[in-house]
Structure 1
Amino acid sequence: MKISVDRRRCEGYGICAETAPQLMHLDDEGELVLDVEELRPEHAPDASSAARVCPVAALSIRDDS
């Protein structure tokens, strides 16, 4: 599984980073940084939660298996 961010949609609210701080954070300019792009199975619930709470639907998760 992979997580990605649509930079054109992301407005830097940071709700996703608060929801899954082990997977992502906001940098000093308020840009979202994905610390993990290749998701391990144990990351899937937190990644899904982060994508779900994004108010602009900028995060997507895909299963490449």
Structure 2
Amino acid sequence: MSSDKETFQKFSDPVYKYINETVSRVPISDWHHTDSGKWVGFRARSVIGGYWMQVLMNKLSGSK
């Protein structure tokens, strides 16, 4: 989590890129090869919500 948008973007942009550009059509995995993005196991688990916790916190606090 970050208190400033720039730092948050440094972490969230690669996650977004992985989700958007992965060749695997498996719902977002939290077990994947970091060098290729290829799915290894697990899919659509609730822990993935943590990827976007800052977005939720901003929404709840009225920040953008």
The reply to whether TM is greater than 0.5 is: no
TM-score w.r.t. the length of structure 1 is: 0.29
Greater relative contact order, per chain length (Cα 8 Å cut-off, separation 6+): 1
Bigger helix share: 2
Bigger strand share: 1
TM-score w.r.t. the length of structure 2 is: 0.29
Whose Rg is larger? Answer: 2
